[in-house]
Amino acid sequence: MRRVERQSSTSHYQEKRRLEALSRQRAWRRDLTAQARQLALCEQTIAASPAASQVQDPEDHSHDTSANNRGKERHSASSLHGSGLPSYFSNQLMQHEWLTDIPGDLASNWLVMPRAEGQRCLVIASRQRTVSRTRSGYILHSFASTLPGGSRATHGNSEAFTILDTIFSEADCTYFVIDVMAWSGYLLYDCTAEFRSFWIQSKLAEIADAGSCQGGFHFTPVPVYPCDPGGLQAAYSGIVPFQVRDGLLFLNKEAHYDLGQSPLALVWKDAHISRYILDTGAAGVVPEWQHIVLQFLDSGHVATGDVPPIIVCTVPNDVLREKQDQLRNGRLLRFSVRKGGLYLRDGELIGAELQFEGLVNQRRGRADICSKIVFQYLARHSPITMAQLLEVSCLELDEHCQH
């Protein structure tokens, strides 16, 4: 593959992106009241259909480490039918990026929580019913719960709906709550991560005595810590409410709940706290070369699933000729990263030495985002370690003490 140089280059690329994200959310005050109510109403209208519970996720990967771009579409749920509905619901989750550098303000401005191994799910409780959906937008469970709006006992009034971001652990029969977007009709999208964390811990504690949901499901908060050395160690090796860990999730304290990709929510893993650090193939085996999925553009380039897409390289002429009838804008293609590796400039992906491996099942939905590609590359060659995270945290605290 031929490398394509990107003209714009900045120092401290990821830090610049984080600062820009914080600046945007300060300037942009969203009114998501109608959006959230429509989401809750639409879910229960669909759930009432006998056919709804029979719809299965065509690509259910409980341990898939891919991070698909959720985009920022704001479709009307009432205008969507059939195959369009899963896409609508999949876009209601914030997309976590991957930690490819360590924020300099880690100790003072970030939170960390351990992640349970399982399926990321959107949970909506409304009109006496609770429905969970996978990252792909397909229904996983429909049941009565102790959440506000989630059962006849907790229905209250028409305003009582709850929307949660969770990880479902089949082994624990539990939804581990990692974030909250609405509680009993009160919207929290534009509240800080620090406040949302406090809110969900206290609110779930209030309903804990009500017992488990119908069918035996529980809703349990995940412990959240400041990113000082003690907090990092607790999240990394302390007691957790689930059986199997799958990495850590870092949240900027000031981050709002974004319905798209966010550099203010970062996933990190190592061999100590995850069985799935490197992506595997269909057979569950780690390939010799890192595999990535990119999208074809009409310009002849392939790009990541970021918004906007990041161009990685051009498609060779022989591939264009051989696959010309199958290549169209947005088509997903699989590549392997060869000996030349990724071309990074201050953390920014500007190109790669790739080999075309074939077409990808389009039900996958979207291409890999840049941070996932870079994290996987670093994990193979120069991984970020817990020792490095602790070192940055300690150095920042030492600097604060000296001032």
295-314 tens-digit pLDDT:
999 999 999 999 999 999 99
Q: Is the pLDDT of residue 348 over 70?
A: yes
Rounded mean pLDDT, 235-243: 96
Indicate whether 67 pLDDT > 50.
Answer: no
Return the pLDDT at 190. 93
Neighbours of 403 (CB within 10 A): 4
Entry pTM: 0.87
The sign of the CA dihedral 45, 47, 48, 53 is positive
CB 389 within 8 A of CB 232: yes
Beta 261-268 vs 95-98: how paired, if at all? parallel
**What pLDDT band is residue 84 in, cutting at 50, 70 and 90?**
low
- Residue 6: predicted pLDDT: 36
Question: Which residue would you say has higher pLDDT here, 210 or 299?
Answer: 299
Residue 69 has pLDDT above 50, yes or no: no
At 14-33, the pLDDT tens digits run 999 999 999 999 887 677 77
For the chain, the structural domain boundaries read 2-8+281-386, 13-268
Give the percent of the chain with pLDDT over 70. 84
Per-residue burial over 356-373, b if 16 or more Cβ lie within 10 Å, else e, is beeebeeebbbbbbbbbb
What is the chain's mean pLDDT, rounded?
86
- What 3-state class would DSSP assign to 211? coil
The C-alpha atoms of residue 82 and residue 77 are separated, in whole angstroms, by 11
pLDDT attached to residue 32: 77
Q: Which tokens belong to 350?
A: 């500007």
Q: Does position 57 have pLDDT exceeding 70, yes or no?
A: no
- Fold observed for domain 13-268: D-amino Acid Aminotransferase; Chain A, domain 1 (3.30.470)
* Mean pLDDT, residues 324-341 taken together: 94
Give the contacts of 5 (CB within 8 A, at least 6 positions apart).
350, 351
pLDDT at 117 over 70: yes
**364 or 330: which carries more pLDDT confidence?**
330
Which residues make Cβ contacts (< 8 Å) with residue 103, sequence separation at least 6? 15, 18, 109, 110, 250, 252, 392
Cα–Cα distances in Å, from 289 out to 68, 170, 278, 337, 338?
21, 31, 11, 6, 7
Q: Give CA angle at 11 (6, 15), nearest 5°.
A: 110
Which residues, 6 or more positions from 276, have their beta carbon under 8 angstroms from its beta carbon? 63, 65, 117, 246, 269
Q: Binning pLDDT at 50, 70 and 90, where does residue 46 land?
A: low
pLDDT, tens digit (0-9, with 9 covering 90-100), for 128-149: 899 999 998 999 999 999 999 9
Residue 49, pLDDT score: 52
HSE-up of residue 237 (Cα within 13 Å, Cβ side): 7
Between 244 and 27, the higher pLDDT residue: 244
Helix/strand/coil percentages in the chain, nearest 5: 30, 30, 45
pLDDT band at residue 85 under the 50/70/90 scheme: confident
Q: What is the mean pLDDT of residues 284-303?
A: 95
- The total number of residues shown for the chain amounts to 403
Q: By CB neighbour count within 10 A (0-12 exposed, 13-18 middle, 19+ buried), where does 30 fall? A: middle
- The dihedral region occupied by 2, where left means phi > 0, alpha psi between -120 and 50, and beta the remainder, is beta
What's the rounded Cα separation, in Å, for the pair 141 and 331?
A: 31
pLDDT category at 213 given cuts 50, 70, 90 is: low
